[in-house]
């Protein structure tokens, strides 16, 4: 080992640490793996997360106000359990990137857990997504809720000009953090949940912690403190489920917060034409709703991610209050 460390081409020797999926299927409000007759009608779904990122105060109107250009020409790399690409939420917007798994020599992108399908729905789903015109690139690194190696996650952070969503649990890894820092210099931006140590502790990552329904700090699932950059909905988030093409489910956890912010990165790329890690990060923080989250923030910033839509108060009568 000392010989390897001493080699001129070796920066660091570090144990290959596991990454996990850890989330909870929610039993509140009796929404568990259900079929929705018209998922694109805001009256038939409970989408409080969409409302939270498009309003400046808590309401119970369940409407999402957004630009019809949201996500156009942008990509989200969902590093997760795969995505059920045939779900009605996606309508052809999912492409396969990399899979650490294969069956009979063929790359396996099937989501056997549901985690990645749910995350992708929040980012770019036709009904439940924040940036509805974005393309999802599925990067499968975990399966059956089991762990996989950090090396497989690291292997696939080479893409540029896109947001990378990581909603996985992992112990601290300096190697993973270094990779995030290096990628950020190439204008690759990461949105990560504050429920893990890496890459959430990387300075250049957009580290997101969780609020509950009613806009109070979620003290059950999320980390907190000065390493947190911003807050987003993470309690009982309604999105696509993996069991069938027309099924939906509510999930809890910091896994659900990162995709809200990842999709807002794409929102600002497509709607406002902003590019570059620094500029996008500054815009996300500058447009956040300030000082509206209650509870004990324990040092976390009181900033709730928002799409800054100027037509918030008077949405036209279109799907989810969609504006031009």
Q: Looking at the domain assignment, is residue 16 inside a domain? A: no
The verdict on residue 17 lying in a domain is: no
**For residue 291, is it within any domain?**
yes
% of the chain beyond a pLDDT of 90: 46
pLDDT value of residue 211: 96
The confidence score (pLDDT) of residue 185 equals: 80
- Position 155 pLDDT exceeds 60: no
**Residue 171 placed within a domain:** yes
Find the mean pLDDT for residues 304-322.
59
Is 81 annotated as catalytic? no
Q: Does residue 233 carry a pLDDT above 70? A: yes
Which of 24-28, 187-191, 216-220, 248-252 is predicted least confidently? 24-28
Question: Residues 188-216: pLDDT tens digits?
Answer: 898 988 866 766 767 778 889 999 999 99
Q: Alpha-carbon distance 26 to 31, whole Å?
A: 8
Tokens of 256: 């659900």
- Give the domain extent around 178: 41-310
Which of the residues 54, 80, 204, 239 is marked catalytic? 80
Instruction: Assess whether pLDDT exceeds 70 at residue 311.
Output: no
189-193 vs 163-166, strand pairing mode: parallel
Confidence band, pLDDT 50/70/90 cuts, at residue 107: confident
Asked if the structure places residue 199 within a domain, the reply is yes
pTM for this predicted structure: 0.83
Where is average pLDDT lowest: 3-17, 98-112, 133-147? 3-17
**Token pair 């650490």 in the structure block, residue:** 100
Which residues does 199 contact at the CB level (< 8 Å), separation at least 6? Answer: 166, 170, 173, 176, 177, 179, 180, 190, 192, 205
Instruction: Taking residues 213-239, report their average pLDDT.
Output: 89
Residue 26 annotated as catalytic: no
Exactly one of 255, 270, 300, 323 is catalytic; name it: 255
Q: What is the pLDDT of residue 36?
A: 52
Higher pLDDT, residue 14 or 137: 137
- Say if strands 289-290 and 303-304 run parallel, antiparallel, or are unpaired: antiparallel
Provide the greatest CA pair distance for the chain: 68
| pLDDT at residue 135, as a whole number | 94
* 295 in any annotated domain: yes
Catalytic residue from among 26, 55, 87, 115? 115
Whether the per-residue pLDDT at 50 is higher than 80: the answer is: yes
pLDDT at 102: 85
* Three-state secondary structure of the chain: CHHHHHCCCCCCCCCCCEEECCCEECCHHHCCCEECCCCCCCCCCCCHHHHHCCCCCCCCCCCCCEECCCCCCCEEEEEECCCCCCCCCCCCCEEEEEECCEECCEECCCCCCCHHHHHHHHHHCCCCCCCCCCEEEEEECCCCCCCEEHHHHHCCCCCCCCEEEECCEECCCHHHHHHHHHHHHCCCEEEEECCCCCCCCCCCCEEEEEEECCCEECCCCCCCCCCCCEEEECCCEEEECCCCCCEEEEEECHHHHHHHHHHHHHHHHHHCCCCCHHHHHHHHHHCCEECCCECCCCCCCCEECCCCCCCCCCCCCCHHHEEC
Q: Tell me the average pLDDT across 296-301.
A: 94
Residue 312, pLDDT > 60, answer no
- For residue 255, CA distances in Å to 94, 171, 172, 193, 281 come to 19, 15, 17, 6, 20
Provide the pLDDT for residue 9: 41
Share of the chain above pLDDT 70, in %: 73
Instruction: Give the pLDDT confidence score for residue 182 in this predicted structure.
Output: 78
Domain total of the chain: 1
The CATH number of residue 288's host domain is 3.40.50.200
Name the burial class of residue 269, with classes exposed (0-12), middle (13-18) and buried (19+) by CB atoms within 10 angstroms of its CB.
Answer: buried
Query: Which is more confident, 6 or 107?
Result: 107
Concerning whether 115 is annotated as a catalytic residue, the answer is: yes
Average pLDDT, the chain: 79
Q: Give the pLDDT score at 284.
A: 97
**Cα 324 from Cα 316, distance rounded (Å):** 9
Amino acid 133: pLDDT: 94
């Amino acid at each position: 080992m000392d010989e390897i460390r001493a080699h001129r081409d070796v920066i660091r020797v570090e144990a290959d640490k596991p990454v996990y999926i850890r989330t909870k299927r929610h039993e509140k409000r009796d929404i568990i793996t259900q079929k929705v007759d018209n998922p694109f009608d805001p009256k038939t779904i409970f989408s409080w997360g969409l409302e939270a990122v498009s309003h400046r105060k808590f309401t119970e109107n369940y409407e999402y106000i957004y630009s019809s250009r949201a996500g156009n020409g942008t990509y989200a790399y969902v590093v997760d359990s795969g995505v059920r690409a045939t779900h009605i939420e996606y309508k052809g917007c999912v492409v396969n990137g990399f899979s650490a798994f294969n069956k009979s020599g063929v790359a396996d992108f099937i989501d056997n857990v549901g985690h990645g399908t749910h995350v992708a729905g929040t980012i770019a789903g036709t009904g439940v997504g924040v940036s509805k015109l974005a393309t999802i690139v599925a990067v499968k690194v975990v399966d059956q809720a089991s762990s996989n190696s950090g090396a497989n996650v690291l292997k696939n952070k080479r893409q540029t000009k896109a947001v990378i969503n990581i909603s996985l649990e992992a112990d601290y890894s300096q190697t993973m953090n270094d990779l995030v820092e290096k990628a950020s210099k190439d204008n690759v931006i990461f949105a990560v949940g504050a429920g893990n140590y890496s890459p959430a502790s990387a300075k250049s990552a957009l580290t997101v912690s969780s609020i509950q329904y009613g806009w109070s700090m979620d003290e059950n699932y999320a980390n907190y403190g000065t390493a947190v950059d911003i807050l987003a909905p993470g309690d009982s988030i309604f999105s696509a489920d993996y069991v069938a093409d027309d099924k939906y489910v509510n999930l809890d956890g910091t896994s659900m917060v990162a995709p809200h912010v990842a999709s807002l990165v794409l929102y600002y790329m497509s709607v406002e034409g902003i590019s570059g890690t620094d500029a996008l990060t500054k815009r996300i923080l500058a447009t956040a709703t300030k000082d509206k989250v209650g509870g004990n923030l324990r040092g976390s910033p009181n900033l709730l991610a928002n799409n800054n839509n100027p037509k918030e108060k008077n949405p036209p009568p279109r799907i989810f209050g969609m504006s031009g």
